[in-house]
Structure 1
Amino acid sequence: MISFNNVSKHYGGQVLYDNASFILRPGDKVGLVGPNGAGKTTVFRILMKEEGFEGGSITVPDKVRVAYFSQNIGEMKGRTVIEEVMSGSAKASELASEMRKIEKMLETDLDPDEMEKVLIQLGDYQTEFEKLGGYDLDTRAKEIITGLGVMPYDHDRDVGLFSGGWRMRIALAKVLIQQPDVMLMDEPTNYLDLESIVWLEQWLKDYKGAVLMTSHDRDFMNGIVNRIIEVANKTITTYTGDYDYYEKEKEIRKVQQIAQYESQQAMLQKEEEFIAKFAARASHAAQVQSRVKKIDKIERVELPPEDVVMDFTFPVPPRGSNDVVTMKNLAKTWTRDDGTPHKVFSGLTATVNRLDKIAVVGVNGAGKSTLLKVICGLTEASGGESALGPSIQAGYFSQFSLDLLNPENTVLEEISSRLPHSSNGYIRNLLAAFLFRGDDVEKKIKVLSGGEKSRVVLATLMSSNNNLLILDEPTNHLDLKSRDVLLKALKDFEGTVMYVSHDRHFLHGLSNRVFEVDKGGIRVFETGYQYYLDKKKSES
């Protein structure tokens, strides 16, 4: 259906890929993976003809409808949520207008030939309109945007009143409602909560068209894709299977490639030793020349480059109290814009124990982030109490921590200002562990990506001797490999962790207890995330 044929893409002197090829077939569900900067988003932009390329060809049949969800959603205001979502199916709206014109023409006196011509045109329009799902467009718009977390009471609000994260959901709904033959999706799970991610995963499973997507959510990708296309090392490689299979297969291929390299190097060494030994002997001249020609023609096996990932472990923190956090009848009420109170939660009674790794879960708006802020002392409780135990020092990572960085500081200046008693050498080694090396430490905060800013905040947390880490969406903006490194570091951390995450792989891998904030209260599950899911399933 779509062919990417021997495509070469360069930026100045930088080669993204040379002679790269893949095919996207009808109904394929494909994950596009690779390190940051390798050119994944550029693949989308090339397919959408937003960028050119230096060699090769792209084949997209004229009748194949392609829709693209990107992180650049543009301006949105002046329409209600439902109107904005429905505008995604522009072709259906255009056909509806044309059909209305023809219906008005049919109310006038037309000669038989013109009548037949108009009716044929109307039939063609109706067929295409039905194919686009035009007859139930309003119903589907409401179903999709509700599935993505925008509740019916907000459907008639102006989209301009929503935050950037919520507008991202609306932009995603505009792509889904088109029901194209192919969907290109660049990080569709960004800004989605867990419930919306699960809904989108099922929607894409049921979707009959093809999908090519990037995602930093391992479970989401595993649940959908049947192939992986890797953009890395100036080429594109295809793997059949989900993300877990890709990781295993890539390691197998790497081991095989190393074995081939070592075998070839041993053979070359023998040939070169023979040439060096007999080069000066006339009696061996023919053999020497033959072997010189032989090794010149050999296609050299190259060692696979090592993946560059974060490499850090949290230092052993000072020991604190066994009762790390004590909550008794904790309550929080916000005051709405109109002055009316809104109860977030009440009656929260629980104890966080030393070395706990607690997942704080609950539906969107239940109060998970608010609970973490109350525990940190960043917002006051409306009732009850929350207290840290003796000698407990808390470090806090929030979804908005990135906004607290000084945009005019360099990376080195930012970390130095947060760790004033640390030596320059220590800070540089710390930054190297978080992939800021050489001139990277002189980058200004304002030019960093979201993932890079997250690494700056995590580097500070790692070095602050905290024995309690309170983390609100710490994996946002981190790629899959960085998430795995953070997961391992937190599992090995000899302190206590409370965290909110929408990454199911992270939730499964870290939690030994679950606090569910729901219906204004809290439920404590004394085992991990899988037990929590099983318990909820049995109750429902």
Structure 2
Amino acid sequence: MVKLSNVTVAYGDRFILKDADFLIKSGDRIGLVGPNGAGKTTLLRVLASEEHADSGQALIDSGTVIGYFSQNVGEMQGRSALMEVIAGSGSVYEIGLELEALEHRMADTSQVFSDADMDRYGHLQTEFLARDGYDLTQRSEEILTGLGIGPDRFHEPVEHFSGGWKMRIALAKILALNPDVLLMDEPTNHLDLESIIYLESWLSSFKGDVVMTSHDRQFMTRICFRTVEVANGQVTSYSGDYDFYIREREIRRQQLIATFNRQQARFAKDEEFIAKFAARASHASLVQSRIKALEKIERITLPPESKIMQVQFTPCTRSGDQVVVMKDLTKRWPMAQGGQHTVFENISATVMRGNKIALTGINGAGKSTLLKVIVGLTQPTSGEASLGASVNLGYFSQYSSDVLDPNKTIFEEVSERVPMSTIPIIRSMLGSFLFSGDDVDKKIGNLSGGEKSRVMLACMLALPVNFLVLDEPTNHLDIQSREVLLDALSRFEGTLMIVSHDRYFLKHLANRVFELDKAVLNIYEGDYAYYLHKSGRE
């Protein structure tokens, strides 16, 4: 059992958690939800003993092993990917090394092996068995493979991996640890769809307790059957999954508003009585009684509404019926060791006006490259991709360096794209993407991933577009912002091509699916559910 009691964490005069209670029971699968910056990560850090509360208690049963995956992977160097995962199992790895050393001593007849050594060996072996230590290497290999790092990269130095792949290694370390309580902060970031499905399967068979945050609604709904909201310093539990939480939260809010309104009506009535009879000596005792009664009542306060992003498309002209025509399109990249890597070859397809196309495929299949060829950011090796008549293109890249200038402010970046707009109009548009006041003067290079995503969306929507090309637009957006964007894209009257690992997003949006698989483009003339069924990926 893990329990937080009356925990308070404050940064300066801002309370992140205030007198918060939190309990993890045996078998719990908890999804942590709440606005960005509300304190979900702080709560996880307190549970993992990586941050200490200003007051209150954190109670953890003796011997409980807690594994914590965070977005900060720390330094990784000096080991292969596989050894990094094995070593990340902490005490299990250390016990394995000590057992190995004792076994070497036992085999060496020139050394004395005492009764104390034998007792120590037996104790270590029992603990090693209990934590599945003898399966550690095999378990580590299976998890790495499931997360997209195959046997051909097991022995590659971790320094050779990019930040996103290091995240996968860090996640594999925590899973291989096989802890009693698994804490995960956005585990699906940097994972492709296949890796997300593997992680979902792994967690479904995991015997320990799980507490996690995730912006992937379907992933969290399938794993977590209890939801805990962190907002305004408070921690509130809901005995159901995310869909249940959405419904129940609204019911509770409406009940709170009704109670608040009744209380305000009573206050108004009492205050009117006090004002009317305050000057009359004959009513002095009654007036004082009302005043004392009012002072004793605990006043209900309504929590502030969370700010949410507002997406509004600028009206645009209608494009021609054929938006993109790809004919015999091939793209090859030169390889460092010589030769060329074929990303895709001889693909032909037509994107028609009104299509909402999900572009799918494993990481490295070439999805981003195909989008860049379509929007003209890179040239094909052969073949052509031509835009149709009256097509106005808007492109969102998951790599902000493709689109944004890190040396410009938010205001400068957006205003240069709409030079005819006035300052109030630009500020109003930025406000709809949650940038207000001095926020608009922040440098692009200093923004978080979520802030950069919102700036790119603002830049893209500042101009009238009828063809949207979106490469992972939901990365770094919280669930609420994702749903606002989903609603806007569902109402968008133009044409759309999108790469996303968010299955909920694609299921509610796509009406065609293009799948890149082994340099070939497979086309599915149906929605995302149809694609999953026909491709056998359900």
Task: Find the aligned partners of 2:490 and 2:100 in 1 and give their Cα distance.
Answer: 62
**Displacement of 1:364 after TM fit?**
2.3
- Indicate the residue corresponding to 2:466 in structure 1: 467
One-letter code aligned to 1:458: L
Q: Give the letter aligned to residue 6 of structure 2.
A: N
Q: Quick one: which amino acid aligns to residue 391 of structure 2?
A: I
The alignment status of 1:81 with 2:78, answered yes or no, reads no
Residue of structure 2 equivalent to 1:108: 109
SS in 2 for 1:418: coil
Q: Using the alignment, how far apart are the partners of 2:362 and 2:15 within structure 1?
A: 44
Residue 417 of structure 2: aligned partner: 418
| Equivalent residue number for residue 204 of structure 1 | 203
Q: Conserved in 1, the CA contact under 8 Å of 2:328 and 2:383?
A: yes
Tell me by how many angstroms 1:403 deviates. 5.9
- Following superposition, the deviation at residue 275 of structure 1 comes to 2.0
Q: Report the alpha carbon displacement of residue 19 of structure 1 after superposing the two structures with TM.
A: 0.6
Matching of residues 52-91 of structure 1 within 5 Å = 52-91=52-91
Question: Deviation string for 1:29-79 (max 9, x for gaps)?
Answer: 111111111111111222233322221111122311111111111222232
Q: Is 1:130 the counterpart of 2:142 in the alignment?
A: no
Structure 2 match to 1:384? 383
CA contact (8 A) 2:325 2:351 kept: yes
Supply the distance in 2 between the matched residues of 1:90 and 1:305 (Cα, whole angstroms): 43
Which runs of structure 2 are paired with 1:512-531 in the superposition (5 Å)? 512-531=511-530
Runs of 4+ in 1 over 6 A off after TM superposition: none
Deviations 1:483-530 (A, max 9, x none): 111111111112111010000111011111111122322222222111
The answer as to 2:321 corresponding to 1:318 is no
- Give secondary structure in 1 for the equivalent of 2:177: coil
Q: What aligned pairs does 1:288-303 form with structure 2 within 5 A after superposition?
A: 288-303=287-302
Aligned length: 537
> Offset of 1:110 from its aligned partner?
7.9
Residues 521-530 or 401-410, more deviating: 401-410
Question: Which residue in 1 is equivalent to 2:439?
Answer: 440
User: Normalising by the residue count of structure 2, what TM-score does the alignment of the two structures yield?
Assistant: 0.96
Shift, 1:296, TM fit: 1.6
Q: How does 1:270-281 map to 2 (within 5 A)?
A: 270-281=269-280
Partners of 1:109 and 1:350 in 2: how far apart? 75
Shift of 1:404: 4.3
Q: Which moved more, 1:474-483 or 1:78-87?
A: 78-87
State the match for 1:456 in structure 2: 455
Q: Is residue 39–residue 233 contact of structure 2 (8 Å, CA) maintained in 1?
A: no
Look up the match of 1:252.
Answer: 251
**Farther off after superposition, 330-339 or 177-186:** 330-339
CA RMSD of aligned residues (A): 1.7
Q: For residues 354-399 of structure 1, give each alpha carbon's deviation from its aligned partner in whole angstroms, at most 9, with x where no partner exists.
A: 1211101122222211211111112222232211001112121112
Shift of 1:480: 0.9
Q: How much does 1:186 deviate?
A: 1.0
CA distance in 2, matches of 1:365, 1:452: 26
1:358 and 2:336 correspond: no
Q: Which runs of 5+ in 1 are unaligned?
A: none
Residue 96 of structure 2 aligns with an amino acid whose one-letter code is A
Residue 156 of structure 2 is matched in structure 1 by 157
Give 3-state SS (helix, strand or coil) of 2:10's partner.
strand
Matched residue type, 1:17:
L
Give the Cα–Cα distance (whole angstroms) in 2 for the partners of residues 519 and 468 of structure 1. Answer: 27
CA distance in 2, matches of 1:104, 1:440: 63
Give the partner amino acid of 1:39.
Answer: G
What letter corresponds to residue 261 of structure 2 in structure 1? E
1:302 positional shift = 1.5
User: Partner of 1:537 in structure 2?
Assistant: 536
Asked if the contact 1:316/1:494 (under 8 Å) is kept, the reply is no
Query: Equivalents in 2 of 1:350, 1:292: separation in Å?
Result: 77
Matched, 1:341 2:368: no
Amino acid at match of 1:62: S
- Paired residue type of 2:121: L
Counterpart of 2:455, as a letter, is V
Alpha-carbon distance in structure 2 between the residues aligned to 1:74 and 1:32: 23
Tell whether the 8 Å contact from 1:402 to 1:457 is kept in structure 2 after alignment.
no
Q: Contact conserved, 1:258 with 1:304, CA < 8 A, in 2? A: no
**1: CA distance, partners of 2:105 / 2:322:** 78
Partners in 1 of 2:104 and 2:330 — Cα distance? 61
Tell me, in whole angstroms, the C-alpha distance in 1 between the residues paired with 2:103 and 2:531: 57
Q: How far apart, CA to CA, are the structure 1 residues paired with 2:93 and 2:10?
A: 39
- Amino acid in structure 1 at the alignment position of 2:190: Y
For residues 272-327 of structure 1, give each alpha carbon's deviation from its aligned partner in whole angstroms, at most 9, with x where no partner exists: 22222222233333322222222221111222321210112111212111110111
- The one-letter code matched in structure 2 to 1:430 is M
Percent identity, aligned pairs only, is: 53
Amino acid of the structure 2 residue aligned with 1:11: Y
Following the alignment from structure 1 to structure 2, what is the Cα–Cα distance between the partners of residues 145 and 109?
Answer: 41
SS of aligned partner of 2:309: coil
Provide the C-alpha distance between the structure 1 equivalents of 2:178 and 2:423, rounded to a whole number of angstroms: 55
Q: Is the 8 A contact 1:316 1:493 kept in 2?
A: no
Output the CA distance in 2 between the equivalents of 1:110 and 1:324: 79
Deviates more, 1:261-270 or 1:409-418: 409-418
Work out the CA distance in 1 between the residues paired with 2:414 and 2:326.
Answer: 33
Give the TM-score, by structure 1 length: 0.96
Displacement of 1:165: 0.5
SS of match in other structure, 1:271: helix
Match of 1:177, SS state, is helix
Name the counterpart of 1:26. 26
Q: CA deviation at 1:536?
A: 2.0
Write the distance in 2 (CA, Å) between the matches of 1:161 and 1:186. Answer: 24
Structure 2: 5+ residue stretches without partners: none
CA contact (8 A) 1:254 1:304 kept: no
- Is 1:261 paired with 2:260? yes
Task: Please tell me whether the aligned partners of residues 403 and 456 of structure 2 are also in contact (alpha carbons under 8 angstroms).
Answer: no
